[in-house]
Chains A and B, each alone.
Chain A
Amino acid sequence: NAGVTQTPKFRILKIGQSMTLQCTQDMNHNYMYWYRQDPGMGLRLIHYSVGAGITDKGEVPNGYNVSRSTTEDFPLRLELAAPSQTSVYFCASSYNRDRGDTEAFFGQGTRLTVV
């Protein structure tokens, strides 16, 4: 199983550019998440989705957009990149139902630098 796959692994953006971080999972998980990791701040939730067609904001949503058109895919869109968005981004998924749930499975991360 591939699990959670993120692309790209590294990216350098110029201020004001836009990009999409791709995330796909093949575990049929209903929940998906985007986190950013910055030194000393742990993992902060950007957006999450409880299922196809449903998304919600996390702790730090400003400057980011998401969509969930399918169960498998949960892309993160950065519009007008800013230096404050320099970070490591993790996509994750989990299976959460009333009679069963799992831990969060993480992708390998995307290291984004905005210059």
Chain B
Amino acid sequence: AQKVTQAQTEISVVEKEDVTLDCVYETRDTTYYLFWYKQPPSGELVFLIRRNSFDEQNEISGRYSWNFQKSTSSFNFTITASQVVDSAVYFCALGRRPNTGNQFYFGTGTSLTVIP
């Protein structure tokens, strides 16, 4: 069975602090994909990153970085020097390889509030 757990329901940080959003996944697939999405207060879902199961390289994009560790089945997301515009709900998702039915499994989201 596929499952994504985001144990942090809500996080509040003061602007310029670093914050890490945790994501733990479960799958028996050997090929899979991991994603992060951002949902700002306006409500749309914005794609942030995709990672393949065979690529454990960490990735950095500006103030955002992602740490993928297969050994702990985790795909954590760190925002450095947080800003008010980072306030949003963040979803982690697990994607399956094609021809396996439903493709995406989402966590329940972490609501991040950045206090000015």
Q: Which residues from B are CB-within-8-Å of A31?
A: 103
**CB-nearest residue of chain A relative to B102?**
A48
**CB-nearest residue of chain B relative to A35?**
B106
A88 touches B35 (CB 8 A): no
A42 touches B98 (CB 8 A): no
Measured in the bound complex, the distance between the Cα atoms of B101 and A58 in whole Å is 10
Q: Tell me, yes or no, whether A56 is within 8 Å of chain B by CB.
A: yes
Interface hit among B19-27, B43-51, B56-64, B72-80? B43-51
**CB-nearest residue of chain B relative to A59?**
B102
Q: Per a CB cutoff under 8 Å, which of B43, B50, B107 touches A103?
A: B50
B102 touches A42 (CB 8 A): no
**CB-nearest residue of chain B relative to A88?**
B43
Q: Which residues from B are CB-within-8-Å of A101?
A: 33, 95, 97-98, 103
B35 touches A42 (CB 8 A): no
Assuming the contacts A101-B33, A105-B47, asked whether A42 and B109 have C-beta atoms less than 8 A apart, the reply is yes
Q: Which residues from A are CB-within-8-Å of B99?
A: 96, 98
- Give 1 or 0 for each of A78-93: 1 = CB within 8 Å of chain B CB: 0000000000101010
A96 touches B98 (CB 8 A): yes
Q: Tell me, yes or no, whether A13 is within 8 Å of chain B by CB.
A: no
Q: Which residues from A are CB-within-8-Å of B47?
A: 103-105
Interface residues of B (CB under 8 A from A): 9, 33, 35, 37, 43-45, 47, 50, 91, 93, 95, 97-99, 101-104, 106-109
